[in-house]
Amino acid sequence: MKALFAIAWRSAWNRRFTLALTVLSIALSTFLLLGVERIRTELRENFSSSVSGTDLIVGARTGSSQLLLYSVFRIGAATNNMQWKSVQALAEHPGVRWVVPLSLGDSHRGFAVLATTPAYFDHFRYGDRQALQLREGKPFAELFDAVVGAEVADRLGYHVGQKITLAHGSGELNAAEHADKPFTVVGVLARTGTPVDRTVHIGLPAMEAIHLEWAGGAPMPGLKIPAEQVRKFDLTPKTVTAALVGLQNRAAVFAVQRWVSTYPAEALMAILPGVALDELWSVVGMGENALLLMSALVALVSLAGLVSVVMAGLNERRRELAVLRAVGASLRHVLALLALEGALVTLLGVAIGVVFAVLGIALLSPWLQAQFGLTLRLSEPTLNEWILLASLLAAGWLASLLPGVRAYRLSLADGLSPRI
């Protein structure tokens, strides 16, 4: 057997270019599969980590996915707002520990503007209950202060001290600008990998201030209130879009939810973020399945490539196997030789593919973060990834055995005189 290994090694070395192609093709498919799988899990992870530590999200009655979409993901717009009085009533509920009101609707160069209270920076949590960190400056204190998310700052090159103007409504180009009331960036948040990165945060009174002379979504003609005079007005908001709620005791969550939905003054609803995220994912998850299907196809194609590469080299091997048989190698030896080579080639290919994947994630993750807001982390393989690797090894080995079995049958039929 030892002699056989030595010969197998020399034989493989002799065919190193063909084998290198095979190894490369396995490595590439491993890389693709692992990459797609990692993106898939991280996508889901990123998605479900966009909000945490919030027990309820309250807003005007609508669909739960819709409320989640605009309050957390800044996608779409609320059809109805909730009254400020309702927010106050909610805050006074004995089971409620904190309430952070959110007011949306304006934008800055395509990024959503979120008006809220300074409590937002204390209570908002994402990922594994991580708090927001400022990488520069401080939270807003003055009326026209703004705190921008990491991506806003990076994409637009903003630092503390930058003057910005907000636009009414959402959209990159908007004629209706609040140009007369510029804001000053006083803080930049550290990256979170959530929609917070793409948000401009201002105080609720500021939101009120820039809309003083507005009615029904358009500026009132002839009315101009200069920025320095707005402080004379009552800047308490009349309505907000939604509110994040933290409870004294999580066990009370359904009681408070019921209290909200039966609130007599207006039609409100309260959703559990985790449940709503899962519901929403079941819709968005279609894309996840498509990714999974694609990676399966990729694996299939590269295995087919593997079989054809080995098959192409088979005639060359047929004579070699006949010579080995003639000098005393038994059929068992021949089969062991082919199986061993297949296993080693597959193992090497998968190992190189894993290295590719690790390097790829390490090198591409800053770009993915900047371009798509997707955080890819290097971590131990998940159970799914282990299963993926194991099935790649098994499938690759079986695929390389297929030509091996053919070679074996040929050498059985050839006897000692190969007919080629």
Partner 1 sequence: MIPVLHAETLRFGWPGAAPCIDIERLEIAAGEAVFLHGPSGCGKSTLLSLLAGVLVAGAGRVTLLGQDWAALSGSARDRHRVAHVGYIFQQFNLLPYLSVLDNVMLPCRFSTRRMAQASHDGPARREAEQLLDRMGLDASLWQRQAMQLSVGQQQRVAAARALIGQPELVIADEPTSALDEDRREAFLDVLLAACKAKHSALVFVSHDQRIAARFGRHILLPAINRAAAGAAA
Q: Does 229 bind partner 1 (CB under 8 A)?
A: no
Nearer to partner 1, 211 or 318 (CB): 318
**380 vs 67, 346, 368, 384, CA distance in Å?**
35, 21, 20, 11
Task: Please report the sign of the dihedral spanned by the C-alpha atoms of residue 35, residue 36, residue 37, residue 40.
Answer: positive
Residue 274 in contact with partner 1, rule: CB under 8 A: no
Residue among 40 and 333 whose Cβ is closer to partner 1: 333
Which positions from 290 through 319 interact with partner 1, judged by CB under 8 A?
A: 319
175 binds partner 1 (CB under 8 A): no
The CB density around residue 354, as the number of other CB atoms within 10 Å, is: 18
Q: Residue 402 is encoded by which pair of tokens? A: 């297929």
Token pair of 302, please? 């590269």
CA dist 389 and 281 (Å) reads 26
Contact between 345 and 24 under an 8 Å Cβ cutoff? The reply is no
Instruction: Please report how close the Cβ of residue 289 comes to partner 1 at its closest, in angstroms.
Output: 48
Q: Is 250 in the site for partner 1 (CB under 8 A)?
A: no
Residues 11-50 that bind partner 1 (CB under 8 A): 11, 13-14
For residue 38, the minimal CB distance to partner 1 (Å) is 40
**Alpha-carbon span 119 to 117, nearest angstrom:** 5
Q: CB–CB of 199/140 below 8 Å?
A: no
Residues 3, 131, 223, 378: which binds partner 1 (CB under 8 A)?
A: 3
Q: Which of 77, 323, 355, 394 binds partner 1 (CB under 8 A)?
A: 323
Of these, 37, 145, 320, 341, which contacts partner 1 (CB under 8 A)? 320
Using rule CB under 8 A, residue 351 touches partner 1: no
Q: Which residues contact 122 (CB under 8 A, 6 or more apart)?
A: 98, 131
Single out the residue of 164, 196, 329, 407 in contact with partner 1 (rule: CB under 8 A): 329
Nearest-approach distance from CB 307 to partner 1, in angstroms: 24
Cβ neighbours around 306 below 10 Å, total: 26
Distances (CA, A) of 35 to 10, 164, 376, 390: 34, 39, 10, 16
Residue 361 contacts residue 341 (beta carbons within 8 Å): no
Binding of partner 1 by 409 (CB under 8 A)? no
Q: Which range touches partner 1 (CB under 8 A), out of 35-43, 206-214, 222-230, 330-338?
A: 330-338
The answer for residues whose C-beta is within 8 angstroms of residue 303's C-beta and 6 or more apart is: 29, 395, 396, 399
Least distance (Å) between residue 322 CB and partner 1: 8
Closer by beta carbon to partner 1, 159 or else 319: 319
CB of 410 to partner 1, least distance (A): 14
Give me the least distance between CB of 342 and partner 1, in Å please.
19
β 145-148/183-189 pair status: parallel
| Closest to 45 in 3D by CA, of 394, 396, 384 | 384
The stretch near partner 1 (CB under 8 A) out of 22-30, 87-95, 187-195, 323-331 is 323-331
CB of 326 to partner 1, least distance (A): 4
96 vs 324 by CB, closer to partner 1:
324
Q: Rank residues 371 and 417 by Cβ distance to partner 1 and give the closer one.
A: 417
Question: For residues 6 and 179, which CB has a smaller minimum distance to partner 1 in the complex?
Answer: 6
The string of DSSP codes covering 198-216 is GEEEEEHHHHHHHTTTEET
| Residues within the interface to partner 1 (CB under 8 A) | 3, 7, 10-11, 13-14, 319-320, 322-333, 415-418
